[in-house]
Amino acid sequence: MQSGYYSAAGGMVTQFNRLDTIANNLANVNTTGFKKDKNIIGDFLRLYKNARDELPLQNSTKESAKFYNRSMDRVPQITDRYTDFSLGNVEKTDNPLDFSLSQDSLFFAVKTPNGIRLTRDGSFTLNDQGILVTKQGYEVLPSDYFESKNNIHFNAEDAVIQADKNGQLYNSVAGSAQLIQNSMLMVVNPQNPQKLVKEGNNLFIPQSLDSLHVKQESGSVMQGFIEKSNVNPINEMVAMIEANRLVGMYQKAMDSQMNDLNRDAIEKVARNN
């Protein structure tokens, strides 16, 4: 198989993978707190240079490694993927159980059947027991959860719920306008957000619980607001059109390699014979 055909096929596969990422971003353009994914496209030569000294070649020498699969050097590849945690637009809802965070490195902590997860989606609600939960029904954790193992609870008669910029919650006393202190929202700062793994339902799996730093004075909690997705639909549509055009170009290159060049070679061989 010609090296040009291989390069075109590799480029087409890369664009298909890129289209998958773009489609997922566009599907979540209206998902509260969603963070878009991005791909880094390089080529085999970059990967080869980074790992050639560890390649399983005879004598493991640079002299032998430098001749390794040179025909694959310029095949485009997705060399890395990452999540863009930049802030999305903030929308005012005036719902006292909606919260957003003004810093992109902070997250709310919730309790799921699979363990503690992080989220930027602060559109919370109360379940039938008066416990603060996410839209999926996962408990929103208080800042002292690791010590107390408690949840955030409100009574049915709590007509007023307020929060300060650190996530400290207050609720009204029955029959009066007085506010009493309730729990504080757990706002955490992971050591490295890029180590978080997306799980679905706008949840992230932390690298470890030890890597989470609970912020007692984050100064970033905004009550009555939600953070929208940080996906720019115009940019994603432009990227989708570009990827589709590249797929078409690679397809034409593959057709030329497989059909036109082979046919030309066969005809020349036939004339010479």
Same domain, 109 and 180: yes
DSSP reduced 3-state for 152? coil
pLDDT higher than threshold 50 for residue 71: no
Same domain, 36 and 136: no
Alpha-carbon distance of 70 to 73, in angstroms, equals 5
Same domain, 126 and 194: yes
Contact 189, 165 (CB under 8 A): no
What mean pLDDT is predicted for residues 210-225? 93
pLDDT of residue 8: 79
What's the domain range around 24?
A: 3-84+251-272
Alpha-carbon distance of 167 to 143, in angstroms, equals 9
Same domain, 71 and 168: no
User: What is the domain count for the chain?
Assistant: 2
- Taking alpha carbons only, the member of 153, 164, 99 closest to residue 130 is 153
More confident residue, 54 or 86: 86
Alpha-carbon distance of 176 to 191, in angstroms, equals 43
pLDDT higher than threshold 60 for residue 51: no
Same domain, 79 and 101: no
Same domain, 178 and 219: yes
Task: Using alpha carbons only, give the angle 120, 157, 139 rounded to the nearest 5 degrees.
Answer: 30
More confident residue, 38 or 71: 38
Is pTM beyond 0.85? Reply is: no
Answer whether residue 232 is part of any domain.
Answer: no
> Which amino acid does the sequence have at 19?
L
Same domain, 223 and 99: yes
What mean pLDDT is predicted for residues 42-64? 56
Tokens representing 244 are 């589709």
Answer whether residue 242 is part of any domain.
Answer: no
**How far does CA 238 lie from the centroid of its chain?**
20
pLDDT higher than threshold 60 for residue 131: yes
Answer whether residue 246 is part of any domain.
Answer: no
Residue 167 CB partners (closer than 8 Å, separation 6+): 99, 143, 184, 185, 186, 187, 218, 221
Alpha-carbon distance of 109 to 224, in angstroms, equals 18
